[in-house]
Structure 1
Amino acid sequence: MGKQKQGQGDNVIMFPGLVARLVEKGMSALKEKKHYDALRYFQQSTELEPSHPQARYGLVITNIELNRLDEAKKHCESMLKEGIGQYYEVLQVYVSLLVQLGDYDEVVTILETVMAEDKLPPDMAESFYQLLEFSRQMTSETSSPVPDEEEPADQFSTPEEWIETLERGDPNQQLGALKKLSQVNTARVVEAYRTFLKDKQNDPVLKSYVLQMMKDMNITGSFEVHKFGDTYSIQISELEDVFHERFGNEVARIVEDRLGQESPGLVEMVMQVWWHYLFAIYPKSPVPLDASLWAAALHHLGTELLMESDGEMLEAEETAALYGVKEDELRAAAAHIRSIETHLFQS
């Protein structure tokens, strides 16, 4: 029998070593600076084993690398409250995040309380004292209100600056600019989207975000899109839902019916891969539109990831038979999902 999935009902079976494998993959992706891949692996790990300390700490570090400081802060807070991980190591990261976020009063309150208890590890004491002193200084300097006219301007204060960030920033900065531009619907902004969509260097997932945003803003017209080495024209008004919801849900239902009872952890993992894949290839649809084929491909990919056995040929053949599809088509579908996952965020 396999392990039971922690934190959930009895008799839920997982692949042995699944969480450890996912955490290991997350750490490898983090070291290779594939931060979105790392985030996905750590999220999958914590969904299966919420109290896994390395997975939870991995979420903190990955969100910091992605400049999602508020998210990283929330993960630190929950780890401290739940007593997960090395307390002072997590506390040090948490306090550093508070400093970066400008919450100096909270830093002073926390560190004065900890130091009053005289429990600081010797190798961390100096760092904590420096953070406390710095925060005290910042608190005293900011105690007087700053006149409105002296307040610093927003980093992206005008649509032109947001457009410039969209053209020249990294993917995280571009996403921030897009969120701001979603509040503006002018000919200049639409042209910026047009340029962004056909630029070969821009992130495919961000292009999906742009297309869905344009559809939601009721922007119309023909646009050229470049994704994964292919360039094509689309009409915004004719776009489907970004997740191809009906077809996507049909595939999800088949996978759930086949694996839901015996391997819920595997279902959870491959469904994240599936929705990520659909978002990435948008506005195109999976080819062919055969729900059983894509369900079989996901089953095969999940087994391959978890087992990495030498009997891959036999496993693929058996999986194809289980879903009533051709083995060569299964392999082609699985290879396409894998190639898209590999391509994403490489730049």
Structure 2
Amino acid sequence: MNEEQKKLEKVVLFPGVVAKLVGKGMEALKEKQFSEALSYFEQALEIEPDHPQGRFGVALSLIEQSRLEEAKDVTEQMLNEDIGNYYDILQVHISLLVQLGHYDEVVSMLEGIMEEEKLPANLAESFYHLLHFSRQMVEDGTPVEVAEDIQVPPEDLIQMLNEASPEKQWLAIQMLGKMSSNVFFEAVKDYLKIDKRDPVLKSMILQMLKEKHIDEEVEIHKFGKNINITVSEMENVFHEKFGKDTLAIVAEQLESENPSLFEMITQLWWHYLYALYPISPEPLSSKLWAAALHKVGGEMTGHDEDELQLARQYNVNLEEMLLCSTKIMKLEKEAFKG
């Protein structure tokens, strides 16, 4: 009997058992019983080795136990074997690569995907930012890879987070992210309150809090605003529809005649929205931000645009367009670069 026949026989012999084991594994994850969850998922895979939820459950259980390298191997194998929802797995895999400091792999993967296909809007915001950041890390050669067996006490990492350069703050966040959910939350909640701290790093922290299923209220200071929000109630991509609608307007003007400029504007826009998260752009006018992006993109690539003509082209107020373009440029200059 070959391997495939053996697998089939196991599934037939244990009808419904796999689903029950996976269900118990998911329940154990919710209850933060991570070793128990891993055991359930592994039992399910003994019967049905290619079960998508079972494989994904193993990855999530390993992540919660800070066994990131092992989790990366699981998600990598799932992507290679086309098991499970591709983009769900890709999102977790890229997050693991970033946390492990494998920036060259992030760049290689995302660039390859973007060349072949358009990213779904619900992933574009964070992926474009991670590509932008990882490119900086690769170019600068910043030594930020973190070992699996962390020995640095949380108190030292908190001090690094509050006193060091943005590069060191990034490293502290990644190292704290490998610790338990409670330790991570207690360490970063004060960072979110300080208005002068880097907005992009705050967005990363919020994303990690959500990935860790932390159900606590956080206070966030960004760009002079004070926000109180429960982590579990935050959308994964707060600006998804607005961001997509804005790019659709730019695409009408640029995508066919200057695709490289449109691609650059797309990255610029998602990077801006990521840094702004969870604040919405003001005013909420897709046409206005589309015009501003066109102006900024043109300037950044050495094409001086006729501002009045551009405002007329997008049917927006000139002064409002200039104000929005200034906001984009200001954030792009001030936001953390790797």
| Shorter-normalised TM range | 0.5 to 0.7
SS at match of 2:218: strand
**Paired residue for 2:249?**
254
* Distance (Å, rounded) in 1 between the aligned partners of 2:148 and 2:284: 50
Note if contact 2:154-2:187 (Cα within 8 Å) is conserved in structure 1.
Answer: no
1:271 to 266, 272, 281: 266
**Paired residue for 2:173?**
178
SS at match of 1:207: helix
**Paired residue for 2:333?**
342
Aligned pairs for 1:271-310 (under 5 A) are 271-307=266-302, 309=304
SS at match of 2:301: helix
Note if contact 2:136-2:337 (Cα within 8 Å) is conserved in structure 1.
Answer: no
**Paired residue for 2:216?**
221
**Paired residue for 1:319?**
310
* Distance (Å, rounded) in 2 between the aligned partners of 1:320 and 1:60: 33
Give the deviation of 1:157 after TM superposition: 4.2
Aligned pairs for 1:79-90 (under 5 A) are none
RMSD: 3.5
Give the deviation of 1:281 after TM superposition: 0.8
Establish whether residue 204 from structure 1 lines up as the match of residue 199 from structure 2.
Answer: yes
Give the deviation of 1:259 after TM superposition: 0.5
Task: Report runs of 4+ in structure 1 exceeding 6 Å deviation.
Answer: 59-62
Q: Which has the larger radius of gyration?
A: 1
* Distance (Å, rounded) in 1 between the aligned partners of 2:229 and 2:169: 22
Give the deviation of 1:308 after TM superposition: 5.8
Amino acid at match of 1:194: K
SS at match of 1:223: strand
Give the deviation of 1:68 after TM superposition: 5.0
Give the deviation of 1:69 after TM superposition: 8.0
SS at match of 1:267: helix
Establish whether residue 232 from structure 1 lines up as the match of residue 227 from structure 2.
Answer: yes
**Paired residue for 1:165?**
160
- Give the structure-1-normalised TM-score: 0.52
Give the deviation of 1:243 after TM superposition: 5.7
Note if contact 1:269-1:302 (Cα within 8 Å) is conserved in structure 2.
Answer: yes
Note if contact 2:218-2:229 (Cα within 8 Å) is conserved in structure 1.
Answer: yes
- Provide, for residues 184-228 of structure 1, a one-character-per-residue CA deviation record: whole Å limited to 9, x for no partner: 334343121111111244211100000111122221232222223
* Distance (Å, rounded) in 2 between the aligned partners of 1:61 and 1:210: 19
Aligned pairs for 1:56-135 (under 5 A) are 63=138, 65=140, 67-68=142-143
Amino acid at match of 2:224: G
Note if contact 2:176-2:183 (Cα within 8 Å) is conserved in structure 1.
Answer: no
* Distance (Å, rounded) in 2 between the aligned partners of 1:337 and 1:305: 12
**Paired residue for 2:321?**
330
Give the deviation of 1:235 after TM superposition: 2.6
SS at match of 1:289: coil
Give the deviation of 1:274 after TM superposition: 0.6
SS at match of 1:287: coil
* Distance (Å, rounded) in 1 between the aligned partners of 2:140 and 2:245: 35
Distance 1:300 1:190, change over 3 A: same
Give the deviation of 1:275 after TM superposition: 0.9
Unaligned runs of 5+ in 1: 1-39, 49-58, 71-151
Note if contact 1:243-1:282 (Cα within 8 Å) is conserved in structure 2.
Answer: yes
**Paired residue for 1:241?**
236
SS at match of 2:229: strand
- Give the structure-2-normalised TM-score: 0.53
Note if contact 2:311-2:318 (Cα within 8 Å) is conserved in structure 1.
Answer: yes
Give the deviation of 1:297 after TM superposition: 1.0
Note if contact 1:243-1:275 (Cα within 8 Å) is conserved in structure 2.
Answer: no
Distance 1:180 1:285, change over 3 A: same
Amino acid at match of 1:233: N
- Provide, for residues 278-316 of structure 1, a one-character-per-residue CA deviation record: whole Å limited to 9, x for no partner: 01111101112222221111111122333464xx6xx22
**Paired residue for 2:185?**
190
Q: How many residues align?
A: 209
Distance 1:218 1:153, change over 3 A: closer
* Distance (Å, rounded) in 1 between the aligned partners of 2:248 and 2:242: 10
**Paired residue for 1:34?**
none
Note if contact 2:246-2:289 (Cα within 8 Å) is conserved in structure 1.
Answer: yes
Amino acid at match of 1:63: V
SS at match of 1:224: strand
Amino acid at match of 1:65: D
* Distance (Å, rounded) in 2 between the aligned partners of 1:160 and 1:338: 36
**Paired residue for 2:47?**
none
Note if contact 2:200-2:275 (Cα within 8 Å) is conserved in structure 1.
Answer: yes
* Distance (Å, rounded) in 2 between the aligned partners of 1:274 and 1:209: 17
